[in-house]
Chain A
């Protein structure tokens, strides 16, 4: 048993406080009646109503969701197919592939964003939602690839042969074994890429063009004029949305688990007696 020094606990508290107090301040100020937020002016839900009915915020949110979903889907397709190729590739090809994946994680986002910006201009590819989706997928697909490859490395390369041996056609082998065994990693990387895409500013800023902006850019534009409790309210709602999303994911996992337990009940009839 390791004894903890009291100072360690104190440092931990300070750090956690440092991280959470600003968020708490945002949450509190979102209810502040005083629009300058220099003092507490009594509580109100007015800012929430304002934010909720603000057309810029609404379209911004919809744009963000479109981008996040699109980028998640594109990243997963790239990461899954790339990883499956990687698994059986020769060692040298794997090393090159790995280097390309890590480069997309390590190199600054702004570098890719400018590069793509110039590329799209040269190629006369229109800036906008599709351009942002492609831009996000540059790094999102790399994060997804790392997670999925980690799972693949743990898989016995013989399981596909085993499935074929047990009568599964190539398509069934993929569906029942390869894809099924990868599913937890696919879901995990999907949630991660969705979240990364959801709050991205840099890539979206470079590739958004004149079209409607995603929510982070809407917020960015708003605070350049003035900081109001409405922005705090939006922040809180975004936070709630993200937390709800995670909650749904956890609930889905739990349901999958209990469904399995439910089937156990059915089999218990056979094995119990």
Chain B
């Protein structure tokens, strides 16, 4: 019972799971529940070779009159004669991705459940897209259904389709191959967050309840000092040893605990450097690490992506906000054309008194102008330089070498001018923890408005 090849391709049915597209005509079912897929059968390359051997042997036997050539053809003829009868025209495929959201380097898998294929051997492979790496599929089949798990790993952040899942059905003699394919859905891959444990805390914090002890006295838990009791004070805070010593009622005072506003500015205007560790990769990884670190501390974090289109989200709190910020990072289109005219960042994205952490290779002059403007507006700005590449030049090319030196001097001048303006610039190469370059600023309180 052979079936004819299915040559029509159709989009997924109305109830299909998002992202999964089958190349042969699928039914109306959901891909996660099972999608009937047509199988395209063809002679395997092995069968074609056996056929060639059989035909060549028999023809030579007759032409040359040497019976041993018919004997040479015998094993191939016998193997071809033993073709299995059953080749199903349709099988039911249920596929799902184990994780829709990943971080660079994380592993997930496509789990495929196949039924209706009988005793045919099943092989599933992922033809991975550029930013993915796929592993060998493992079968855990039993009886009439097979469950296959094909692992894959993401190498680069972004929102991309994993690739294509190819399923091959083979008979026991491996003479026929039935093929069907699924276009795998998009997965969201976050940049791998840079390691950051220490936090920069400004000396002047907005009057919102948070976790950072501020200079002002308040209702926190960190001891600030002792003062004389005045009517209206809470009696439970009386410091009895001090009261006994001084003869007048003394009261413990505590620091107020405040939150702070952080605005992360990720520069996506340039992506230079080695593939996988470009300035854009480092900027986004550092931004992701910083966002996660400050949100974990209960701070309010906002994000500005300085790219071809300036996009921002104001400071906020919580897990949902973290995902909003990640979505903004992933959705940004790197480039510089439209933002070339922008030297002033929007006021809505910059709450007063916010600490602005900039991750940039400092290659775009307009961004440098924008940083100067921020400083003039009184913001505390700290720049993390993520440039790790220098222009390539041949060793014997004197002009190129000279141009490289000029370029280096220009870069040094930019960094020097920012430092002179009171914007500290630290360098992060992507290799070490982000704590190391930021250590001078995380060990003590950073003066707001001044550095």
- A and B from one complex: no
**Chain B interfacial positions (CB closer than 8 Å to A):** none
